[in-house]
Amino acid sequence: MNIKLNQNQSNNVILTLQENSALFTYSGINPYYLFVFSSQTTNQSFNFVANNISSLSARNSYDQFTITCTGATYQNLSAGTIHLNPGMFWHYSVYEQTNQYNFNINNAVGLVEQGKVQYFPATQDFTYVQMTGDSTYTVFNTYN
pLDDT for 61-95, tens place per residue? 899 999 999 877 788 999 999 988 766 789 999 99
Residue 141 lies in a domain: no
Residue 133 lies in a domain: no
Residue 132 lies in a domain: no
Whole-number pLDDT of residue 87: 65
| pTM for the model | 0.79
**Total structural domains within the chain:** 1
CATH of the domain at 55: 2.60.40.10
- Write out the residue range of the structural domain in which residue 66 sits: 2-120
DSSP symbol at 61: T
Residue 20 lies in a domain: yes
pLDDT for 4-54, tens place per residue? 999 899 999 999 998 888 887 777 778 999 999 999 888 888 899 998 998
Residue 68 lies in a domain: yes
Residue 138: pLDDT over 80: no
3 state SS of 1:
coil
Beta bridge partners of 3: 117
Residue 1: pLDDT over 80: no
Residue 49 lies in a domain: yes
